[in-house]
Amino acid sequence: MLEIKNLMVFYENAIAINNINMKCQGEKVTGVFGANSAGKSTLMYTISGIILDVKKKEEMKGGERITVLGNITFEGIDISSMKPSERAKKGIVLCPERRRIFAESSTLENLKIGGYLATKAQAKKTLDYVFTVFPALEKLKGREGGFLSGGEQQMLAIGRALMAQPKMLLLDEPLLGLSPLMEAMLARAIRDINKQTKIAILISEQYARPILPIIHHGYILENGGAVLQGSSQELMENPDVKSAYFGL
């Protein structure tokens, strides 16, 4: 469904993504694991196209030079130079790191804003689904985003992304800063979303433990390069992964 070939991203002369080749299958969950500054967010920005906006802004203000090389195809079409809005219309929807919900809008308003690409019927159906998979959000419909807990904000961010009718959902560190209980709950919800809706999911995390069991295939990033890949089982049994991510 999504194929990345020889991807390289440089911020000025520093390399953030170093020749990554990667495939994300339709209807499956793909994981990307790596430490701080391994390149996870850069990869998500590059797939969603946001990096091109950042690049343009930097060029306009005479700031740092961002270079993106390589190819990204989605459903067989080269999207490498497509604007983020065009990629969203094609079904690639990013749920960014640290949630970025609208703090002064209510939960329901946040969700409705996410549905700008949807028809009325789709929006209604998806809203019902969001409240099924995250029942807590229905009770918090009227509450301002800024007054939700970290976990509730993350549910809202994922719900809002679902409202945009994704074919592929990009989740950048969705568990960041959450309690172990909330991590487990969200990991289960993410697995359910994939099973029930068949939306393909690409998920990045620093700590693999809660997510590794729910992926179909995963990649380990180090210094911008994909150093290892395998199925959930293969990665869980790999001694290097065990010691780096499970402290074993």
**DSSP class per residue in 73-137:** EETTEE-TT--HHHHHHHTEEEE-TT----TTSBHHHHHHHHGGGS-HHHHHHHHHHHHHH-HHH
User: Residue 40 corresponds to which amino acid?
Assistant: K
Q: Residue 14 Cβ, how far from ligand ATP at the closest point, in Å? A: 6
Six-digit token pair at 171?
């989740």
Indicate the residue among 154 and 165 with the shorter CB distance to ligand ATP: 154
Indicate the residue among 64 and 138 with the shorter CB distance to ligand ATP: 64
Partnered with residue 202 across adjacent β-strands are 30, 170
Closest of 168, 171, 143, 144 to residue 157, by C-alpha: 171
Whether residue 186 contacts residue 156, with contact meaning beta carbons closer than 8 Å, is answered with no
Q: What is the arrangement of strands in the sheet containing 92-95, beginning at the earlier edge strand? A: 92-95, 168-172, 200-205, 29-33, 217-222, 225-231
Indicate the residue among 118 and 241 with the shorter CB distance to ligand ATP: 241
Indicate the residue among 41 and 232 with the shorter CB distance to ligand ATP: 41
Q: Residue 64 Cβ, how far from ligand ATP at the closest point, in Å? A: 6
Q: Residue 12 Cβ, how far from ligand ATP at the closest point, in Å? A: 7
Indicate the residue among 42 and 153 with the shorter CB distance to ligand ATP: 42
Chain residues that interact with ligand ATP, rule: CB under 6 A: 11, 14, 16, 34, 36-42, 64, 97, 206
Q: What is the CA radius of gyration of the chain?
A: 18
Q: Residue 153 Cβ, how far from ligand ATP at the closest point, in Å? A: 17
CB atoms within 10 A of CB 36: 6
Indicate the residue among 169 and 175 with the shorter CB distance to ligand ATP: 175
Q: Residue 170 Cβ, how far from ligand ATP at the closest point, in Å? A: 12
Q: Residue 38 Cβ, how far from ligand ATP at the closest point, in Å? A: 4
